[in-house]
Each structure stands twice: as structure tokens, then as C-alpha cells.
Amino acid sequence: MVKVSANSSLIFWNFLDMANERYNPRDAEPRWQAKWTENKVFETDNNDPREKYYVLEMFPYPSGRIHMGHVRNYAMGDVVARYKRARGYNVLHPMGWDAFGMPAENAAMKNKVHPKAWTYENIATMRGQLKSMGLSLDWSREFATCDVDYYHRQQHLFLDFLEKGLVYRKNSKVNWDPEDMTVLANEQVIDGRGWRSGALVEQRELTQWFFKITDFSQDLLDSLETLDQWPEKVRLMQRNWIGRSEGMTIRWDVVADAAASGHDEVTVYTTRPDTLFGASFLAIAADHPLAKAVSEKNEAVRQFCEECRRAGTSLAALETAEKKGIDTGVKVRHPLDPAWELPVYVANFVLMDYGTGAIFGCPSGDQRDLDFARKYDLPVVPVVMPRDGDAASFAVGDVAYDGDGVMINSRYLDGLSTEEAFEEVARRISAQTLRGAPQGERKVNFRLRDWGISRQRYWGCPIPVIHCEVCGVVPVPKKDLPVKLPDDIDFDKPGNPLDRHPTWRHVSCPCCGKDARRETDTMDTFVDSSWYFARFTAPWEKNPTDPSAANSWLPVDQYIGGIEHAILHLLYSRFFTRAMQATGHLDLKEPFKGLFTQGMVVHETYSRGEGLSREWIAPADLRIEETDGQRRAFLLESGEEVKIGSIEKMSKSKKNVVDPDDIIGSYGADTARFFVLSDSPPDRDVIWSEAGVEGAHRFVQRVWRLISEAAPQLSGVAAKPALDGEAMAISQAAHKTLKAVQNDYDKLAFNKAVARIYELVNSLAAPLTAAAAGKADEATRAALREAANILVQLVAPMTPHLAEECWSILGNEGLVATTGWPAYLEALVSENEITLPVQINGKKRAELTIARDADQNAVTSAVLALAPVQQALEGKAPKKVIVVPQRIVNIVV
């Protein structure tokens, strides 16, 4: 694997007595990294007057070691940072750690290490790994979210949000793991059981802290339009998540009856008021107040509601659950016909936390309502018919019609379109009153819920409030911040260690001075990552931000990270930016101007055995052989053959991981960086393969060999592009590539940049070799020196160490890292003559080389004179000649 040995001295290079050694990244990389650090090349000054550029990659969770996904993510960000720096921007490129969270507590329970020690040790390891990648980061701004200094400012923000009414407390249903005695997030509940304990998860009502993200629902939706440098996919996902719908609320009068205990109306939300005459029942959620009231007197209803609550947890159960309901006995009056009475059911498919927790069922227009109606034998009246339907014969069988169309069976609405009927019903019901208030109103509804941030855990940012029996919930005064996590904790028992700490929670009330207790909930770790990008702009500041620094650096110009954060992290950050604007910490709405979601690093899997006894094998433990096009894998130890399986995301469980340390150790950081950037488009998955890495490494060595061999001949001449003569081809290749690659870098098309650079190296190989042998004249050497410099600058963002090494041996002053981007010469990138493909009837039959600025007539007559064209025309005139300037000529015969 390690191929960094010096070349055999037996090899005889007749033209060369030096620089015949292979490039040794283990020597060169640390050397250049030290040089960059020593010169503080990547430390950013907030007072630098140049135009700013903020590039940020999603900061890592300090899990222990970096993985290839990190390498790819950070390599991309680093290319952008180095490229923009060369283009003259004042670049901010910081790094930190998303350091709070469950794994530290799990490690504490399992290995008896303190979460703090575990976390900071991991950070130290990973910082070292990132540094070995040679990333152009401003390490002076580094922080971890578990630093007291950071969460102190987060508590400050919390208090400001609280004061602004953006934080509140309410009862809410949570997933409660009775064994671990903790709340679980939805994604931590698998098939109704806790992901760690395996215990059946219960739904519990707890008082929880919430951020009022719904205050911004409409704005978060509307502003997506302005994020034109975000992937359309992500914007769409956010749009769906916010889930805006336009409809109306309608109040239904309850028919006076002994069964209806204390409820005289039911409010439903609907997006289809036009179908009101097709209504045949109301359905309410099991948690609806009316359902609870009825339950007290009706045992059957109580049991049904109970059943619904139990079934609610697992997704699989929801999918397959039969639509079921139970008649409450309550009847309501139709809002457009007081004589019409409808039954009220409790139904298992109605959700309490969407709309009003109550719906009216229109079986002909909604498949679910139809299934329900058929099951309980409720009327099915078609009220909407497709435009081309026949009113007399139109009927609904087993399939509901939920499209637009023409109203039927709807009295005065008949003949109207669905939109017109919507308007008419909305108008009538809004004008109608029930007990002195309008019976309904137009309402925009959102799927987005407020953000519950309470976590019953230790390793998170403490929520800075105090509960006093007299004064109620009292915010911790800012002067008393930070509320620090206690260090002396034990994880012997399940549950929140803060809760059972002997002294921590006991505190006197800041208002009345009486004994009170601290809030023991800590914040969701998504809070930590919702504003770190703002903190990086002035991490030394005693307030959460320095608004002037935040306003000048933000928004982040290019944010790069995984698609898995398309919704939550990005939505929360967008909310936080708005909330911080409302509280004066910065003044903008959208934190991320450009967003790029990179693909994963995937790898083949290897295994032996079948089913339960299947055992996964790490790639490091085997060797691959190829015979007759068949690839086979064998264990290194025993030689036993194992099965080559599918290509999947690198994961510990499938053991198809490659450790970046191993790759950097044997091939160097440049090879690793270059490989993850080449081949696949950056937003797609890249397949890690040994052959691919070898290829990347060959490229690194090739560049070094070509340049270092020619360097003695080039370092003495001044770089000068050749504008004529033999050497012009060299300068043209370099300048054309320069233009193309900078265009690719602008678009983050790293794979295309790589391809272009390969082409340039291929075309420079022969002249460089000739120059090394002393067979190049002065002009050629000057052109080669210039071309070599350009090549080095082009690769510098991707393989920065190699670039510095080449830069230096070519005799250039200073560092590539601080050298400005070269400018291509227009004269060298535009050709005087172009070759046009000539098609006959759309098939290519000839080529025509002609002056670039030749007019259409000149092109036409030149084309018609071509032999293949003459032949095809057989003396006749062409039917049509299409000349696309600079592109193609097509002759129709």
C-alpha cells in the first residue's frame, strides 16, 4: 500500500541529475502546513477592506474520528476558500464543533468517561486529523458548542427570545422511554420502541419549552423564493414541510342533546368548503376535547380513544392501520341547512395537532372519507363532477373524485366551478352568525409546528430559567449567566442527572429570594447549530454577536453540507436568524445565500456467511484480484474468498469504511482531496475505490515529475506567454484551461475542473519533457514557465501542498496560497479559425475550417464547395442551408 519509496537509482536518466525522486507528501505536507500557520495565511481580519466571502462547511459532531464524508465536505469548502482567496476576496473560512448531544452521555454510561472529557478528547483527535488535510481554516476562531463561553451566549439569546415572546412553555405530547426515563425524538422511536433501551415508548404529556417558529411560517415560505442559490430540491422540501394550505374554519352547531356535554359547537378546518353539500359526517381526533367529554359518559368511546392513542406511535402501524371510527351520538347542524343533522364520529385518522382536530367528511370527494362512509354506511352524495362528465349519470363507486370540476347536487351552487363554489360558500358562511360571531372564516393553515427544544438530558445547554413557587417561571438575570453545567455528575441511574444532582438545581429565586429550583431541561442540540455561523464572525465577543461584524460577514456566501440537513437544521437556522434580527443581534433574515448539498462517499461491501451469521469484512482486511474481468476478494489472513456485495454508504456496521488517516498516511492529503473531488459530480455519491485513489496518486506524482524535471531549465527564465510561433500552442492550452477551470470552480464543478486539468497536463507533458532534456528554445521555456505556473495555480485549491512544492521549485517567490489568481489572455483563448461540423440531412458528413468571423454567406458558399456536399447534391440546389454561427452547418437536400 505504501508507495512512497525513493525511485531506484539504477534507473538512468540521461538528461537529469536531480529531482528524480518521487514526491513525498509525508515530508512536504507538514512542511507547508507549518509554513501557512507560521505566516498566519488563513487568519481573517474583520477590518480587511476587501470584498468579503464567507465559506462554511457544516461543522462536525466530534464522534471520535473524521470519516471520508468529512474529507469530501471539507475538501470542497477548501477549494472554494482557496480559490476565492486567490480571486482577491477577504475570505472567512472557520471551523468548530457541534459538541453537545447524546453520544457523549452514552459513552459516559458505557465507558465511565465524563461527557466533557470524552468530547474534548475527540475534538483534539479530529482537529489533528483536519489539520493533516491542510485545510485553509482560520483556527483562531475555533469553538465548540459545549464551551461555556458559547453556551453562555446561547442562554443570552434564549432570554432575549423569551422577552420578545418567541419562547413559551406548554404541555405537549412526547415520546417517553420509561426505561431510560427520557424523552425521545421521533426518529429515535423505532417500531414503537426506544432505539437504545428497546422499551415500549409511551406518549406522555410534559411541560416543554418551545420556540415560536410558526410566527414566521409565511415568511419562511415566501423567502424561499429569494434563495435562488439553493438547490431546488431543498427549497421544495422546505415548502412541503411548512405545508401552507388555504381554507376556512367552519363552526358547526351541536344539536341540543343530553349526550353533548358542555360542547355547543365543533369547529372544523377545511380546504374544500365547496364540497359542503356532500358532507355526511364530522370526524374528530381521539384527543379532541369533545371526544374527552363524551368519553366520560360513554365507555365504548373512551375505549376507542384509548386504543387510538396507543396505536399512534409507529409509522408502520399508521400506514397499515384501518380507518376506524365510533359514533359519539352527538349530532351537529349543517351550516347551510339547519334542518340537516349529521353524526359526529371519533376517527383514528384525524390528528389533533393539525387544523382544529376536527373535519367534515365528504365521501364523494375524498378517498379516506369514502372508505369510512362505506364502512359505517353513511351517505355518499357526489357534488363535484369532472368538466366533461354527465350530471345525470355521474356517480361515485369505490373511487372518490377529488379533482376540480363542476358542482352538482349542491342546490344553488350547481353549475359553478369548484373555485366559484369555494368563494360562494366562504362568503355565505363568513356572513352568517352563530351565537353572535361569524360562523366561519377564511384561514391559512400551516403544517409547521412550533419547535420543542426541551430535552431531559445532561449534555446540552441548560435552559436559563428558575421555577419559583411564588413568582412562577423566572428568567435567570443576564448578570447571573452562564448557568453552567455541573461537572460532578453520575450516570449510574437512568434519567436526567441534572434532576438528581444534590445541589445544582437548588437556587434562590432572583425575584423574591425564596428557595426555588432551576429548570433541569437542556436545549435540543439543533439550537446550538442554529447560530454558530453568526458566532464565527466575532467569537471573542462578550455578547452573542458583534452586530456590525455579523452584518458585514453574513449571509454565508457558500454553505456546504449533507442533504440530510435539508429541512431541520436549515429551517431552524433560518428561524434563528429572524429571531436574532428581532432581538437586535444581527440584521438580516436569510443566513445562507448559497447552499450546496454534497453527495456521500460510498464503497463496496464485503461479507461472508448468510442471513444471521453474515459477517462483514473491512476492505483493509482483504485483497482484490481480477481474473478474466471477474473481480474476486480474498481475506488477507487466510486467503479465503469472500463475497463482493453492493455499493453502500460507508458505515461502521457494514465495515465498508476507509479511514482517512490511513489514506493520508500512505498517499498524502493531496491525493485524498484530489480523489474525492474528481470523477463524480460533487452533489452525487462518489465511489471510493482503491484503483481510483491510485489514479489520483499517479496524477500527483506525474505533475511533480513533469514540473520538477523541467524546473532547472525553467526557473531561470521569466514567465511569458507565447503569442505566436511554435510555443503558442503551449500558452493557448494553458490559458484556455485557465478560463475553463475558473468557470468550473465558480460553479463548484470540481469533477469538470479535474478533467480539464488532466487535459492540460497531457498536452504539457511532451514539451515539459523536451524542455527537461534541454531541447527548448528561450521563447518556449518562457511559455512553459508561464504555463507551469498556471497549472500549479489551477491545482492549488485542490492539492495545495503539491502546488507549493512545485511553485517553489519553479523558482517563484512567496506562497501559492497568497498569490493572486492569474488572468487569461483573450487572444490566447479565442481562435482565429474554427472548424465547423457539416451535416447533410442532420448527419455529420464533413468539416469546414474557416475564419472565425466569416459571415454566413462565406460559410454557405465554402460549405457548398466541399466534395462530400457536392456529391450529395448531385448537381441540384440544396433545399435549405442552416448555418448556426460558430456551431454547425446543416444542409437539407
According to CB under 7 A, which residues from 290 to 349 bind RNA?
311, 315, 318-319, 321, 323, 348-349
Of 521 and 744, which has the nearer Cβ to RNA? 744
Q: Could you tell me if 786 and 718 are in contact, meaning their C-beta atoms sit under 8 angstroms apart?
A: no
Q: Is 852 in the site for RNA (CB under 7 A)?
A: no
Out of 24, 229, 245, 430, point to the residue binding RNA (CB under 7 A).
245
Candidate ranges 54-62, 91-99, 535-543, 884-892; the one touching RNA (CB under 7 A) = 884-892
Dihedral sign, CA of 801, 803, 808, 809? Answer: positive
Q: Which residue in 437, 837, 858, 861 binds RNA (CB under 7 A)?
A: 837
CA distance 285 to 291: 7
Phi/psi region, residue 451 (left: phi>0; alpha: psi -120 to 50; beta: rest), is: beta
Q: Rule CB under 7 A: is residue 93 a binding residue for RNA?
A: no
Contact in structure between 291 and 285 (CB atoms under 8 Å): yes
Q: How far apart are CA 633 and CA 625, in angstroms?
A: 6
Nearer to RNA, 325 or 544 (CB): 325
- Contacting range for RNA; rule: CB under 7 A; set: 130-138, 350-358, 511-519, 520-528: 350-358
* 766 part of the interface to RNA, by CB under 7 A: yes
- Binding to RNA in span 593-632, by CB under 7 A: 626, 629
Q: How many residues bind RNA (CB under 7 A)?
A: 83
Question: Judged by CB, which is closer to RNA: 113, or 600?
Answer: 600
496 sits near RNA (criterion: CB under 7 A): no
Q: Each residue of 143-155: b (16+ CB within 10 Å) or e?
A: bbbbbeebbbbbb
Give, as ranges, the residues between 663 and 692 that touch RNA (CB under 7 A).
678-681, 684-687, 689, 691-692
Nearest to residue 528, comparing CAs of 157, 142, 163, 208?
157
Q: Taking the complex as a whole, how short is the minimal distance between the CB of residue 475 and RNA, in angstroms?
A: 33
Q: Looking at beta carbons only, is 764 or 783 nearer to RNA?
A: 764
Q: Which member of 117, 124, 236, 431 binds RNA (CB under 7 A)?
A: 236
**CA–CA separation, 60 and 71 (whole Å):** 11
Regarding beta strands 281-284 and 337-347, do their DSSP bridges make them parallel or antiparallel, or are they unpaired? parallel
Distance between alpha carbon 107 and the CA centroid of its chain, in Å?
A: 27
Applying CB under 7 A, the span of 81-89, 252-260, 761-769, 816-824 interacting with RNA comes to 761-769
Smallest gap from residue 14 Cβ to RNA (A): 12
Computed from CA positions of residues 771, 773, 776, 778, in that sequence, does the dihedral angle turn out positive or negative?
A: positive
CB of 322 vs RNA, minimal distance in Å? 8
Among positions 406, 650, 754, 854, the unique one binding RNA when judged by CB under 7 A: 754
Q: How far is the CB of 690 from RNA (least distance, A)?
A: 8
Of 100, 143, 277, 360, the one binding RNA by CB under 7 A: 360
Cβ 648 to RNA, closest distance in Å? Answer: 10
**Residue 823 within binding range of RNA, rule CB under 7 A:** no
Report the residue from 154, 208, 270, 410 that binds RNA according to the rule CB under 7 A: 270
- Determine if 843 is a binding residue for RNA (CB under 7 A): yes
Nearer to RNA, 267 or 551 (CB): 267
- Selection from 751, 755, 750, 810 nearest residue 82 by Cα: 750
Using the contact rule CB under 7 A, the part of the chain among 192-200, 265-273, 498-506, 612-620 near RNA is 265-273
- The answer to whether 785 touches 714, Cβ cutoff 8 Å, is yes
Which span sits near RNA by CB under 7 A: 239-247, 252-260, 453-461, 660-668? Answer: 239-247
Q: Which is nearer to RNA, 247 or 660 (CB)?
A: 247
| DSSP string of 642-673, one letter each residue | EEEEEEEE--TTTT----HHHHHHHT-HHHHH
For residue 371, the minimal CB distance to RNA (Å) is 9
Assess 851 for contact with RNA (CB under 7 A). no
Question: Percent helix, strand and coil across the chain, each rounded to 5?
Answer: 40, 20, 40
For residue 682, report the phi and psi dihedrals to the nearest 5 degrees.
Answer: -60, -25
Among 439, 496, 819, 890, binds RNA (CB under 7 A): 890
755 binds RNA (CB under 7 A): yes
**432 sits near RNA (criterion: CB under 7 A):** no
* Residue 712: CB minimum distance to RNA, A: 18
Interacting residue with RNA among 35, 368, 517, 643 (CB under 7 A): 368
Amino acid letter for position 223: S
- Pick the closer one to RNA by CB: 236 or 300: 236
Is 445 or 799 the residue whose CB approaches RNA more closely? 445
Segment contacting RNA (CB under 7 A): 203-211, 270-278, 434-442, 457-465?
Answer: 270-278
Nearer to RNA, 137 or 279 (CB): 279
Q: In terms of Cα–Cα distance, which of 614, 622, 613 is closest to 640?
A: 622
- Judged by CB under 7 A, the chain residues 182 through 221 that form the site for RNA are none
Chain positions 1 to 20 lying near RNA, rule: CB under 7 A, are 8, 11
As to burial, measured by CB atoms within 10 angstroms (0-12 exposed, 13-18 middle, 19+ buried), residue 579 is buried
Q: What cell was used for 440?
A: 366561519
Q: Give the footprint of RNA on residues 861-880 (CB under 7 A).
A: 880
**Beta bridge partner(s), residue 125:** none
- DSSP for 262-281 reads S--EEEEEES-GGGGGG--E
- Residue closer to RNA, measured from CB, 473 or 888: 888
Pick 41 or 755: Cβ nearer RNA? 755
Q: How far apart are CA 683 and CA 751, in angstroms?
A: 11
Q: How far apart are CA 864 and CA 793, in angstroms?
A: 46
Min CB(386)–RNA separation in Å: 15
Q: How far is the CB of 85 from RNA (least distance, A)?
A: 25
Q: Does 46 bind RNA (CB under 7 A)?
A: no
Q: What angle is formed at CA 115 by the lines to CA 110 and CA 116, rounded to 5 degrees?
A: 155
Residues 6+ apart with CB under 8 A from 858: 850, 851
CB of 327 to RNA, least distance (A): 18
Respond yes or no on whether the N-terminal peptide bond of residue 555 is cis (omega within 30° of 0): yes
Beta bridge partners of 358: 284
Residue 701 touches RNA, criterion: CB under 7 A = yes
Q: From CA 20, how far away is CA 709, in angstroms rounded?
A: 7
CA atoms of 141 and 534, how far apart (whole Å): 12
Closer of 218 and 551 to RNA (Cβ) = 218
Smallest distance from the beta carbon of 8 to RNA, in angstroms? Answer: 6
Q: Is the peptide bond before 482 cis (omega within 30 degrees of 0)?
A: yes
Min dist. Cβ of residue 276 to RNA (A): 11
| Nearest by Cα to 294 from 320, 267, 262, 266 | 262
DSSP assignments along 336-392, one per residue: TEEEEEEEEEEETT--TTSTTSEEEE-GGG-HHHHHHHHHHT------EE-TT--TT
- Least distance to RNA, CB of residue 689, Å: 6
Tell me if 161 contacts RNA by CB under 7 A: no
- Report if residue 835 touches RNA, rule: CB under 7 A: yes
- With CB under 7 A as the contact rule, the residue among 297, 698, 775, 852 that binds RNA is 698
Tell which residue, 558, 467, 556, has the closest CA to residue 515: 467
Q: Which region, judged by CB under 7 A, interacts with RNA, from 235-243, 290-298, 412-420, 813-821? A: 235-243
Interaction between residue 495 and RNA (CB under 7 A)? no
**Contact status: 149 vs RNA (CB under 7 A):** no
User: d(Cα 809, Cα 28) in Å, to the nearest integer?
Assistant: 12
Q: Could you tell me the smallest distance in angstroms from the CB atom of residue 627 to RNA? A: 9
Tell me if 634 contacts RNA by CB under 7 A.
Answer: no
